Amino acid sequence: MGLNLYRLDENHNPVECEDYAKAFKGDRHVVPRETINGCDISTVFLAIDHSFGGGSPVLFETMIFGGPFDKHEYQTRCCTWDEALVMHETARQKVLALK
């Protein structure tokens, strides 16, 4: 069973690839990692399909580390670059709401 590797083309579209080095080449952050209210927000291109054969390739992940999220992990995943941008902004708004 293969890993179902992907790389991003010049328009941020996932493209299947068989070369591990190409899949993991360069910075994989969709948005630069940011720290707000003591929390780190990270949105990355995973390069490995996390759908595990269940539909469209799940290739992007947003996580929040720190603050109240240390005890209750925040992690979301999606299929496209545009969804990842929305996912990051949703996490950002959650962190901004902390006061």
- What does the pLDDT read at residue 98? 87
- What does the pLDDT read at residue 1? 47
- What does the pLDDT read at residue 69? 84
Taking 70 as the pLDDT cut, the residues of the chain under it are 1-2
Compute the C-alpha angle 62/92/52, nearest 5°.
Answer: 15
- What does the pLDDT read at residue 53? 73
Report how far apart, in Å, the C-alpha atoms of 90 and of each of 5, 6, 25, 84, 95 are.
27, 25, 27, 10, 9
Helices (H), the chain: 20-23, 81-96
Q: Are 8 and 49 in contact (CB under 8 A)?
A: no
| Residue 32: CB atoms within 10 Å | 9
- What does the pLDDT read at residue 2? 62
